[in-house]
Structure 1
């Protein structure tokens, strides 16, 4: 994709509310990091009270995935999850606008040698990640240390799309944005030995995947990871990030590449991926994106797991 450019149309009055909002957000994130954590926490608690539909989805997911937990513990997790989402709002702005040196001080990176080894061998790397609430800042912090290309869906608002892409791509000017539907483009980059951020943990429908267990529930799981690894001749390198409880920043871990991947079948690969997804989520469940209807696709004849959306 071409680099984003500012155009005079962004000065049109229809963009003024967004420009004002972005300006206020820019001013807010000039505050100290620990103050932003407090403000983000308050924002998350406010969202918990007013975001009824998202709260119901997240609560249902926690009920499905952690049935062994007492109700009071799941409610605590739910509230902390909204707190994490509120903090993520400011982490997004930090990753877009903080000076690079200030942002870099928050990074605690482990396992960078696994990406470097793939690069030195001339092999592509599928940086297999998850939709944690820390996704935006995790990608920014890693992008400062290693070129990472990303799967990208253009935002409907052109001004927001410009600001978002500018913020994401500034950490490494060699990084590229790849349209999510551009499979050929992704494969070309992998064959050139580049690393691409990719998350296989959402429900894209039964037509794009197969049903394998996740937290003991049949979940529609994309088979694309296997296809990309095989056709792109790439290593699959798991990547996780976590906001540290002591306020010192973020722990980013690049794990060793998956061995013998692809395996004997797409089903075996998807099961292996979901086992890793589940284990990674269990390490910090309060920071995962639970508001996604992960189990909306169901095997034929199986009952729906979510209530109909309330009008």
Structure 2
């Protein structure tokens, strides 16, 4: 019963998010998309296990990757890279795939379960660089200045204390302005890291050119620009985004919650 309740709650959250972000969808179109989102989350769970604890050989010939030259050019310049991604359900498996080509650190929010947190760090560091907890911002800046590549996903709601409000699919969303701030602190380039699961069962990874004139010095302009990049990526494969997250949990003062309890 608890599992069913949890699944139903996640479906309600996804439904709310899609009504806000894709109001052009008809009811039946949204229902189909929600089913595909739940299915994609399930696939992502098993892909994550393969990524974290499976042999690398299982990933060979399972992907396409474009844009590695941008990472190589940054390394040749001695520049650190903030590898900016969002929470697609392919994030764990495609992170493992990218690690076959370039090692990178991971900037992450620590799991509250100590045992799981330990297992995740141990697994990721077996094939990647350092795991940097989200409170270790000085370590992040040092690693970027030292020329490290650091993966960072700033697309979730971290509360009003750490955020500013910027549009995401036309809705004001609590957005962490860390991308621009960390890039400035670490004198680093920002390279968008996009990843998708294809219909043929393979994965597509796209590393875009470094963002130009970034950071601009304007947190709102920079956060709006980042959210727009994520919007464009999500629209390519909307069923693969983590819509079950309460992206709009934090509201501007005076605005009611979008989510039922």
Instruction: Flag whether TM exceeds 0.5 (same fold).
Output: yes
Partners in 2 of 1:265 and 1:296 — Cα distance?
24
TM-superposed deviation, 1:220 = 1.1
Which residue of structure 2 lines up, in the alignment, with residue 179 of structure 1?
133
Which residue of structure 2 lines up, in the alignment, with residue 6 of structure 1?
none
Preserved CA contact (<8 Å) 2:177 2:223: yes
What do residues 34-53 of structure 1 show as CA deviations (whole Å, max 9, x unaligned)? xxxxxxxxxxxxx7886111
> Which consecutive unaligned segments of at least 5 residues does structure 1 have?
1-46
How do 1:203-242 and structure 2 match up within 5 A?
Answer: 203-242=157-196
Which residue of structure 2 lines up, in the alignment, with residue 73 of structure 1?
29
Partners in 2 of 1:128 and 1:156 — Cα distance?
24
CA RMSD across the alignment: 1.6
Preserved CA contact (<8 Å) 2:40 2:239: yes
How do 1:1-311 and structure 2 match up within 5 A?
Answer: 51-172=7-128, 175-247=129-201, 249-307=202-260, 309=261
Preserved CA contact (<8 Å) 2:110 2:134: no
Preserved CA contact (<8 Å) 2:47 2:92: yes
TM-score by length of 2: 0.94
Partners in 1 of 2:221 and 2:84 — Cα distance?
17
TM-score by length of 1: 0.79
Partners in 2 of 1:52 and 1:104 — Cα distance?
36
Aligned length: 259
TM-superposed deviation, 1:116 = 1.2
> Which consecutive unaligned segments of at least 5 residues does structure 2 have?
none
Preserved CA contact (<8 Å) 1:134 1:241: yes
Q: Quick one: higher RCO (CA 8 Å, sep 6+), 1 or 2?
A: 2
Alpha-carbon distance change, 179 to 278 in structure 1, aligned in 2, over 3 angstroms: same
Secondary structure (helix, strand or coil) at the match of 1:200 reads coil
Partners in 1 of 2:105 and 2:241 — Cα distance?
22
Preserved CA contact (<8 Å) 1:48 1:55: no
Partners in 1 of 2:140 and 2:106 — Cα distance?
9
TM-superposed deviation, 1:296 = 1.2
